[in-house]
Amino acid sequence: MNTQTALPAHPYFAQALLEWYPRHRRDLPWRHTRDPYAIWLSEVILQQTRVKQGLPYYLDFVTTYPTVHDLAAAPEEEVLRHWQGLGYYSRARNMHHTAQQVVREYGGQFPNNYAELLKLRGVGQYTAAAIASFAFGEKVAVLDGNVFRVLSRVFGITADIAAPASRKEFQLLANQLIPAEAPDEFNQAVMEFGAIQCTPVNPDCLFCPLQRECYAFQHGMVNQLPVKTKAKASRTRYFHYLVLRHGDTVYMRRRGPKDIWHGLYDFALTETETPELSALEVLDTLEALGGQVATNRAEEPVQALRHVLSHQKVEARFHSIWLEAPLPASVITTSGLAPYTASQTEELPKPIMIANYINNRLNKN
Partner DNA sequence: CTCCCGTAGG
Partner DNA sequence: CCTACGGGAG
The angle that helices 11-24 and 183-196 make with each other, rounded to 10 degrees, is: 70
Q: Which stretch binds DNA (CB under 7 A): 3-11, 146-154, 206-214, 245-253?
A: 146-154
The binder of DNA chosen from 67, 103, 112, 126 (CB under 7 A): 126
Q: Which stretch binds DNA (CB under 7 A): 206-214, 319-327, 336-344, 345-353?
A: 345-353
- Residues for the chain: how many in total? 365
The binder of DNA chosen from 274, 278, 310, 343 (CB under 7 A): 310
If one asks whether residue 148 binds DNA (CB under 7 A), the answer comes out as yes
The binder of DNA chosen from 1, 165, 298, 329 (CB under 7 A): 165
The binder of DNA chosen from 4, 52, 329, 364 (CB under 7 A): 52
Q: Which residue lies nearer to DNA by CB, 33 or 49?
A: 49
Q: Look up residue 132 and give its amino acid.
A: A
> Taking every pair of C-alpha atoms in the chain, what is the biggest distance, in angstroms?
92
The binder of DNA chosen from 59, 304, 308, 342 (CB under 7 A): 308
| Distance in angstroms (rounded) separating the CA atoms of residues 49 and 314 | 21
Q: Which residue lies nearer to DNA by CB, 15 or 234?
A: 234
Instruction: Give the count of residues interacting with DNA (CB under 7 A).
Output: 54
Rg of the chain in Å (alpha carbons)? 25
Contact 81, 349 (CB under 8 A): yes
Beta strand 235-246 pairing with 268-272: antiparallel
Q: Which stretch binds DNA (CB under 7 A): 122-130, 240-248, 289-297, 315-323?
A: 122-130
If one asks whether residue 32 binds DNA (CB under 7 A), the answer comes out as no
The binder of DNA chosen from 33, 35, 49, 338 (CB under 7 A): 49
The binder of DNA chosen from 22, 107, 164, 220 (CB under 7 A): 164
Distances (CA, A) of 48 to 70, 201, 264: 25, 18, 19
| Distance in angstroms (rounded) separating the CA atoms of residues 228 and 162 | 5
If one asks whether residue 259 binds DNA (CB under 7 A), the answer comes out as yes
Contact 84, 93 (CB under 8 A): no
Q: Which stretch binds DNA (CB under 7 A): 64-72, 74-82, 194-202, 243-251?
A: 194-202
Q: Which residue lies nearer to DNA by CB, 86 or 242?
A: 86
Residue 166 DSSP label: G
If one asks whether residue 201 binds DNA (CB under 7 A), the answer comes out as yes
Q: Which stretch binds DNA (CB under 7 A): 100-108, 268-276, 289-297, 347-355?
A: 347-355
| 224 contact partners, CB below 8 Å, separation of at least 6 | 216
Element (H, E) at 133: helix 125-136
If one asks whether residue 125 binds DNA (CB under 7 A), the answer comes out as yes
Contact 39, 131 (CB under 8 A): yes
Give catalytic status of residue 43 as yes or no: yes
Q: Look up residue 251 and give its amino acid.
A: Y
In the chain, DSSP finds a helix count (H) and a strand count (E) of 16, 7
Contact residues: DNA, CB under 7 A: 47-50, 52-53, 85-90, 94, 120-128, 143-146, 148-149, 162-165, 194, 200-201, 226, 228, 230-232, 258-262, 307-312, 351-353
Residues with a catalytic annotation lie at: 43
